[in-house]
Structure 1
Amino acid sequence: MSNLSGYDSEAVGFPSITRSKRPETSSSTQTSEYSESGTGCQTNLVKDIGCNIVPGDVKVEAPNYSPQRLNEFLRRVVPTMLEQLDENDREVLCNSSDSDDEETITAKLFQELEIKVDSNLASGDQKTPTVLSLSWSSAGNSLAVSLGHTQHESWCNHDGVIKIFTIKRTAGDKLVHSLDINEKNCVSVVKYHHSLAALLAYGTVTGEVVIINMRDGSDFHDGMQLTSPAGCHGTKRVSALQWADASLANTYLSIHISNTGKRRGASDQILFSSGSDGTINVWQVNSNFKVFENVMCYAINGSKKMVAPDISCFDFIRVFPLRPSDEKVSDDVFVVGAKSGKLYLCKIKSKQILEGNLVDPVTEVFDGHAMCVLDVSFSLQRPGLFASLSIDSELRLYDINQYGPLKVMCLDVAVSCMSWLSSSPCVVVGTDGDKHQLRVYDVGCGREVAVEGLAVSGGVTAVAVTLGGSCRVAASDTNLKLRLWELPTRRGRLMAEEQF
């Protein structure tokens, strides 16, 4: 053992630590008897160390948290937290890998409705009206459907109507027709307020803009309906409507106070309306006090003495206050699309008044489409990015800092409308090809997302997506059928390598 331990001493043993003596035992085996006896034990020394501090002697000072330092901390931490959540949630709607074995998403069709048309709507130069616009309420429990005619030989002599469908618990949480709002002309566009579920705006083909407060649906015709002044938009078609969010509304209400000296109400709202005469009107709205005043009127290219463009769509940029400073973009811009295919970058302006109290907001012109722009909409995930769809089946992605498109997708089917999905960097596009259906495209990676179950019976005329909660998609077709689907609510974002 010496060659193992390095010591030449004998083996050392340690006595047992037990104190009790065990009785002798015998064994019946052929071995000799043996016995055990208790031995002494080794003890350990225990040393107690006292403490001279009593609880009363300890003084803990509360840290001083200043709101400014807390805000700075949140600005640094929150964006990183959001990015980490996006990294952890890999089940995005679009699988951006190059693998051919992509997961196919199935849209759940939970309701199908047939829109009934009154006899007074099927008259004049067209026999059958069509659905011109759809809009979900802020809570997602009500859907507004506007009916009218797309073409008129001269003056519109049709009656228009807005049908309101509401989700009823007694009907199994399905949409049920609850109200009709009749109009003397075709209703070209309808828009619910993004946070006030009872506030609804619509525009007509003769240039009128109407506000309705439907808190009491049975009495809204008696004093709860506000109409824009006569001659609005040159009595031409109202092409688009949009309600301003809180930050944007405060900007325009401050401009209105500065220009007129009038005080604002706590419930004042701002509504934008665009027309075929090349103007965008900014309205101050208060249904409680029956306020419907024009704050400003923008004339696209008014300062260049050019023919006014026929505006088909517009959208204001989304504000992202918690984004890092290197991702911040200007929050006072909006984009206007025209039937000529041009896209105009505009800025909020309160001065530079032209003739007739008009303001030209155009700062730059993008490298636009060759044909009519059907829709333009800013991204809900990334600041400064917006998508545009044209009648020649081009879907483009733009950045406000670049006047050329980041991506151009040439679709293989006729298109009619577009809407962003609220939970993913994807747009749903209504088609009018041989296979009538809705298609979903990821504008970040520039290709179609495999989604099954979005078939319709005719060409899609309008599409709308809920603002929050479950992702519900409503679409109408040329056969006056309304279908509603639910898509999986999966989060996604445009990856840095997928943007360009």
Structure 2
Amino acid sequence: MFTDKSFDPVGFSSQTSSEKSGKSNNVQTDVVVYDDGSFQSTEKKSVETQTLTEPKKTPEFDYARLAAFLKRVTPGILEALDETYGTNAFEDYNPATTSESFSAVQCLAKLNTWENPDFKTKISGLTWSTGGGSLGLSYSVTFHENWCDHLSKIKLYYFTRDNKFPSAPNKVLEVNSCVTSLLYHPSEPSILAAGLFNGDVLVWNLRDDMSVTPVQVFAHGDYVSQLQWQTKIVGDASVLVSASADGYILIHKLLANFTTVNLHKKFKVAKEHNPSENARPRSAGGNRERAVEAGLTITSFDFSSKDPSLFIVGTLCGGIYKCSIDQAVSVEGDESILDPVISEYNRYEGSVISVKCSPTRNRFVTSGTDKEIRIYDFDQAASQKIISLENTVIGLSWCVGNKDVFAAYGATSIVGFYNITTGNALPNVILKSEIRENTSSLSFNSKRDLVAVGDTRALLEIWKIPRYYS
């Protein structure tokens, strides 16, 4: 089917062309035509105007009315100018400020304010005026063996025109007993109140330099433990609240330029639960009224910032009570004496020394002789946090820049700062002095970012503190 067969090769030559076809075309652009045009600006016209000159009229003044007005407002204006003179609100402002500079504190002045070094006297009260231009300072002996008959003083220091703190007081008020509480009015810079060891409650109007006679508001049966001005309890008058070791809390209305005093309410914390007693008297929250007994010694109190009708009371026997002005009940049918207690918090084993309600939160802090600082919620009987310390804290005070920070001072030369939310101490903000003994009093100046500190040897220190810290 298939056979092998060979054939001779066949060849052919290639055919290539080196010539290429071409075609010529002429291209010419159109001629560009240029045309010049002239332009003419619009026509302008000038118009002259002239105002009419009217004769000036001489204004008419009622000089008698002007003099009466100036006489009426000048004292208040001068007083306000003195209070605000030399403000240093922006003194620490620096765009390049670091967080470390805000934690720095500085002692500006140290004064030995008592003339007799052999007489053991402490600074018992410090208070700044509402404008921050004046500092009030009071004294008390460090220990009373019996009833107080010491002659004491209240010294007033005014900042100079060049914003310097004076080395000597500008005014001295004399009182017939040791001062236990001293407080400027929160809105009237010339009104000063003092509570004495003999039970007297006094009020001065410092506007009149010719007269330094105080108005006696009341006389308690024992030493005055605390004073507090209140502006939200009664709308038509200034209210001064005083507490005493006699067991009474009194609310007084001051009228007619602080010259007239009316008793508004009288409270007594009747015995609730005293550890030294075996029986517990009837409670104010029960159906029956309490038995007539002496009130507990009031050591401290403070009003709520959320509800001005509520306040917290601390007592000598360790009780912490939630009280109400509106829900107070009469004591054994006596309508003139009311028991304000509506509930009780966990007690201290020792005495309650200081109570401070938070200015922004529904909380309060307390200190006691058992060397504890407690943080409470208004609506809970048990404390939220307990801060144990090595020394007794006798005073608490809210700071100016951060309302969640409070200062604690007492049986030590160190003033510590704590956060109410965390309960932690602020290590970068501490007021410590090598020459200061136990701290007996402290007061913040909200206008000048200062804090005044007094000790048990009548030494006064003025510290510069940062406004904002955390």
When residues 452 and 357 of structure 1 are mapped into structure 2, their CA distance, relative to the original with a 3 A threshold, is closer
Aligned counterparts of 1:419 and 1:37: Cα–Cα separation in 2: 96
In the TM superposition, residue 129 of structure 1 has moved relative to its aligned partner by: 1.6
Count residues with an aligned counterpart. Answer: 357
Aligned with residue 364 of structure 1, among 340, 343, 347: 343
Coordinate RMSD, CA, aligned: 2.8
Establish whether residue 165 from structure 1 lines up as the match of residue 151 from structure 2: no
Establish whether residue 438 from structure 1 lines up as the match of residue 415 from structure 2: yes
In the TM superposition, residue 470 of structure 1 has moved relative to its aligned partner by: 3.6
1:282-332 deviations in whole A, cap 9, x for unaligned? 11113636201211110112653354211111001114xxxxxxxxxx442
Aligned with residue 437 of structure 2, among 431, 454, 458: 458
> What are the ranges of 5 or more consecutive residues in structure 1 without an aligned counterpart?
1-34, 41-94, 96-101, 251-265, 320-329, 493-500
In the TM superposition, residue 150 of structure 1 has moved relative to its aligned partner by: 3.9
When residues 431 and 118 of structure 1 are mapped into structure 2, their CA distance, relative to the original with a 3 A threshold, is closer
Conserved 8 A contact 1:439-1:451 = no
Which residue in 2 is equivalent to 1:275? 244
Conserved 8 A contact 2:226-2:300 = yes
Conserved 8 A contact 2:194-2:203 = yes
Aligned counterparts of 1:446 and 1:103: Cα–Cα separation in 2: 24
Counterpart amino acid of 1:155?
W
Which residue in 2 is equivalent to 1:336? 313
When residues 189 and 289 of structure 1 are mapped into structure 2, their CA distance, relative to the original with a 3 A threshold, is closer
Which residue in 2 is equivalent to 1:114? 112
Conserved 8 A contact 1:344-1:362 = yes
Which residue in 1 is equivalent to 2:225? 239
Conserved 8 A contact 1:168-1:175 = no
Establish whether residue 482 from structure 1 lines up as the match of residue 468 from structure 2: no
1:200-231 deviations in whole A, cap 9, x for unaligned? 1101111110011111234232xxx21034xx
In the TM superposition, residue 405 of structure 1 has moved relative to its aligned partner by: 0.8
Aligned counterparts of 2:256 and 2:184: Cα–Cα separation in 1: 14
Which residue in 1 is equivalent to 2:173? 181
Counterpart amino acid of 2:409?
G
Query: Mapping of 1:6-405 within 5 angstroms?
Result: 105-117=103-115, 127-170=119-162, 172=164, 174=166, 176-221=168-213, 225-229=214-218, 232-234=219-221, 236-245=222-231, 247-250=232-235, 268-286=237-255, 288=257, 290-301=259-270, 303-305=289-291, 306-319=293-306, 330-349=307-326, 352-354=329-331, 355=334, 357-382=336-361, 384-405=362-383
When residues 39 and 277 of structure 1 are mapped into structure 2, their CA distance, relative to the original with a 3 A threshold, is farther
Aligned counterparts of 2:132 and 2:167: Cα–Cα separation in 1: 11
Conserved 8 A contact 1:374-1:416 = yes
What's the TM-score, normalizing by structure 2? 0.70
Percent of aligned positions that are identical: 24
Secondary structure of 1:163 counterpart:
strand
Larger radius of gyration: 2
When residues 315 and 118 of structure 1 are mapped into structure 2, their CA distance, relative to the original with a 3 A threshold, is same
In the TM superposition, residue 170 of structure 1 has moved relative to its aligned partner by: 4.5
When residues 297 and 117 of structure 1 are mapped into structure 2, their CA distance, relative to the original with a 3 A threshold, is farther
Aligned counterparts of 1:431 and 1:208: Cα–Cα separation in 2: 25
When residues 357 and 189 of structure 1 are mapped into structure 2, their CA distance, relative to the original with a 3 A threshold, is same
When residues 295 and 175 of structure 1 are mapped into structure 2, their CA distance, relative to the original with a 3 A threshold, is farther
Counterpart amino acid of 2:352?
V
Which residue in 1 is equivalent to 2:96? none
Aligned counterparts of 2:390 and 2:31: Cα–Cα separation in 1: 97
Counterpart amino acid of 2:447?
G
Higher helix share: 1
Aligned counterparts of 1:472 and 1:356: Cα–Cα separation in 2: 45
